[in-house]
Amino acid sequence: MTRRRPPQRPPALFDYIVKGRPVSAQPRAEKLNEKDTRMGRKESGLGRWRAKIRAAIDAQMEAIGYELHFEPMRVQIVWFKPDVESEDTPDLDNITKPFLDSLEGRVIVNNRTFHEIHLRKVETNHQFEPEPELVFDHKAQGISEFVYVRVEPLEWDRPTRLVR
């Protein structure tokens, strides 16, 4: 008789959406005003963007509850926007830090908990199968630009479920 693995519990999941265009954590020098440059500050919109991310996380935690995770985790960040080819947007790699930092101490113990990060920029009408409920709801409301963030335990033998 062969040994069977016990059934695995479904992965813990925390997902949320932040409406609007992300702000780069690495702004270009020409976008900084003189005062911000002298004060050593990054783009002024970054602070407001971080606050918006924290508010979205807190609202979702209040709605569904969540526990602090210590085990290895995966995060997926999908930026839905009307036109992925426009050049007036921040680089995909530069928008991740505010999302990762804002999860620290709320959903994950610290950023070292993330062992895998997936980044993606897609047009708003892009369909995933299955479509995450939060994404479906925001599209149904006609919201044209938002960022979907999904945190789940890292399981080496199980591929990510957010696929086309």
Q: Tell me how many domains the chain contains.
A: 1
Residue 2 in any domain: the answer is no
* C-beta of residue 22 within 8 angstroms of C-beta of residue 147: yes
Tell me whether residue 158 is in a domain. Answer: no
Count of C-beta atoms within a 10 Å radius of residue 113: 21
In a domain, 164, yes or no: no
Range of the domain at 117: 14-153
DSSP for 65-99 reads: ----B-S-EEEEEEEEES-TT-SSS--GGGSHHHH
pLDDT at residue number 144: 92
Q: What is the pLDDT of residue 142?
A: 93
What's the pLDDT at 138? 93
CA distance 116 to 99: 14
Residue 1 in domain: no
- Domain of 120, CATH number, reads 3.30.1330.70
Q: Let me know if residue 39 belongs to a domain.
A: yes
User: pLDDT tens per residue, the chain (164 residues)?
Assistant: 555 555 444 455 799 999 999 999 886 554 555 555 545 554 468 999 999 999 999 999 999 877 888 888 999 999 999 987 877 778 888 999 999 999 998 888 888 889 999 999 999 999 888 889 999 999 999 999 999 999 988 876 555 555 55
Task: Confirm whether 163 is domain-assigned.
Answer: no
